[in-house]
Amino acid sequence: MHTNYKRWMKHPGIDYETLTELKNLKNEEEISDRFDQTLSFGTAGVRVPAASISIPSVR
């Protein structure tokens, strides 16, 4: 069984809905689909030049 899947199942903070969903996974392929892939995140089309971002200074 997959390590991350096991960790999620045993996590004390898991909510009932998520735990139920995980328990209902039918086979290794479904578990692998959720836990064995690298997530990629993009900027969702946001293109802001770095110079236009103002960062307040701490005094």
Mean pLDDT, all residues of the chain: 80
Its sign, for the CA torsion 44, 40, 21, 13, is: negative
CB-based contact 31:2 (threshold 8 Å): yes
Q: Would you state the structure tokens that stand for residue 47, as one six-digit string? A: 């293109």
1-28: per-residue pLDDT in tens?
Answer: 578 898 999 999 999 999 999 999 989 9
Integer Cα distance of 34 and 18 in angstroms: 12
pTM of the model: 0.56
User: What does the domain layout of the chain look like in residue ranges?
Assistant: 1-34
CA gap 4, 6 in Å, rounded: 5
